[in-house]
Chains A and B, each alone.
Chain A
Amino acid sequence: MHIVGLYISPIAIGALKDLILTILSTLLSFVLGILFAAGRLYGHPVIKLVIGWYVEIIRGLPAILQLFIIFFGLTQIGINLSPLTAGLIWLVAYGTGYAVEIFRSGIMDVAQGQREAASALGLGRWITMRKVIVPQAFALMLPALTSFVVLQLKNTTLLYLIGYADIMYQARLGADATEAPGTLYLMAAAAYLIMSLVIGRIGYRLEKRATAYR
């Protein structure tokens, strides 16, 4: 039992760090994701193509490989990133690749009749997007966005591979130093589980509120 007491605070701190990284990378991925989705839907053909490739690359390459390219690969051309910076860049790059597709399909799923009604009223493209399409798309997308946040949280476990001191890192340290790897990994699991459940709960609440009009 004293193992739990000994490691609870490093794991809790690790969890907090993971949570902050998750929130930060999610926010940045959403902003970029919306911009890229708009670019992919309405942009110049070249922009559409480039964003299309970007999405394919992010979704096609193994996550660890992407992370290692950013952290280790870039040192070869003189770019040395700290584990935190490299981790954040990767989480945002990776998250954006997925967010683009969530936003794009959300925007497309809003019925064509809504666009026509907006056009017939003389509403411009930007207002239509902001007042008509995005609010409805957001309600449609919320389940996917909630899973996205949980996915990002789980992705933070990979950062221990580049030496970032998160939950996973602390659990691994403890597992090696004590005779109780099971206890330590269970503690890590509990921390992730609690955070996932909270995220899911928040997503559910938001969804209920966003779809109240249906």
Chain B
Amino acid sequence: MSNEVVVSIRNLTKRFGKTVVFEDVSLDVHRSEVVAIVGPSGAGKSTLIRCVNRLHPFDEGSLQVLNHQLNKGSQFPSKQVLNDIRTRVGMVFQTFNLFPHLSVLENVILAPIEVKKVPRKQAIQQAMELLDMVGLSEHANKYPKRMSGGQQQRVAIARALAMEPEIMLFDEPTSMLDPELVGEVLDAIQRLAKDGMTLMLVTHEMQFAKEVADTVVIMADHRIIEKGPSREVLENPRTGRAQAFLKRVLNPVHATELEREVAVGHGGGR
């Protein structure tokens, strides 16, 4: 992790109509830092990382991504700025979102050819290297729907990497997968982390977050309730709300009672 801040989120507020998704969220992400974002469903984790590559606009605060200042409101940034952000920030979705009518290889080469104007031959060569890296080079000519979820998600990772991004956003990349397929995807992500990629990762895999992330952010009740070095946050959370959440994910059956008490004690749940 370097000192260079590549994503700077300051007092960010996001609403859908009247509903507040999150309020007053601040977070700095440094180059090569791995940030895991955890928290209960509906906390706004997905929405937050989707603001970073401007899939969503935001309502208040400021957001700086790779030296581009994004303005609040629904007005899109200029074409060049948007394009620069979208090419330098990659994203992997919970539901893979591969293009089903294109083969694995075509999925990976589409954006480099169309956006970066990479010659086809070179794009294919680069794609094959990436597919090799995620262990799928022999599946290059298959259609996505013919593959397992874990394989599809690894293709999605290769597709995003083909744009040579500096930052990768992951939105619960393993939560749609059968348990036995989770490992192969986490391995691929861990490799990226080792290679110095900047990662913002929404996940429910606490063990993975603890081992791979530098920083863990816990979101709940429309805000960040705790953030810090991953071990510290996950092993010794300071706030009661964070303790209750972690207890619940680590020990799902017994903790709901405690969480309810704590939430009430803090002046209301959701």
Contact = CB atoms under 8 A, between A and B. Distances in A.
B55 A117 contact: no
A128 to B, nearest CB: 9
B93 A123 contact: no
Contact-residue size bin, chain B (C-beta under 8 Å from the other chain): 20 to 34
A117 B100 contact: no
A127 interface: yes
Interface in B133-177: 143-145, 159-160, 163
Contacts of B115: 121-124, 127
A9 interface: no
A131 interface: yes
B97 A114 contact: yes
Interface string A111-122: 101101111111
B86 interface: yes
B124 to A, nearest CB: 16
B101 A136 contact: yes
A139 interface: yes
A213 B100 contact: yes
Given A118-B99, A121-B160, A212-B143, 20 more contacts: A113-B93, A116-B93, A116-B97, A117-B98, A119-B55, A121-B115, A121-B159, A121-B163, A122-B87, A124-B83, A124-B114, A127-B115, A131-B99, A131-B110, A135-B101, A136-B100, A136-B101, A139-B101, A213-B145, A214-B100
A132 interface: yes
Interface string B102-124: 10000000110011000000000
A166 B72 CA distance: 63
Contacts of A136: 99-101
A132 B91 CA distance: 17
A213 to B, nearest CB: 4
B203 interface: no
A43 B144 CA distance: 33
A120 B91 contact: yes
A118 to B, nearest CB: 8
Interface string B54-79: 01000000000000000000000000
Contacts of A121: 86, 90, 110-111, 115, 159-160, 163
Nearest to A138: B101
Given A135-B101, A139-B101, A214-B145, A122 B93 contact: no
Contacts of B190: none
20 contacts: A114-B97, A117-B91, A117-B93, A120-B53, A120-B86, A120-B89, A120-B93, A121-B86, A121-B90, A121-B115, A121-B159, A122-B111, A122-B163, A123-B110, A131-B99, A131-B110, A131-B114, A139-B101, A212-B143, A213-B101
B105 to A, nearest CB: 13
A214 to B, nearest CB: 6
Nearest to A127: B114
A113 to B, nearest CB: 4
Contacts of A124: 83, 114-115
Interface of B: 53, 55, 83, 86-87, 89-91, 93, 95, 97-102, 110-111, 114-115, 143-145, 159-160, 163
A214 B114 CA distance: 25
Nearest to B99: A132
Closest 5 CB pairs of A and B: A122-B86, A117-B97, A121-B111, A120-B91, A113-B97
Contacts of B93: 113, 116-117, 120
A132 B111 CA distance: 11
A132 B100 CA distance: 9
Interface in A133-157: 135-136, 139
A135 to B, nearest CB: 5
Contacts of A114: 97, 99
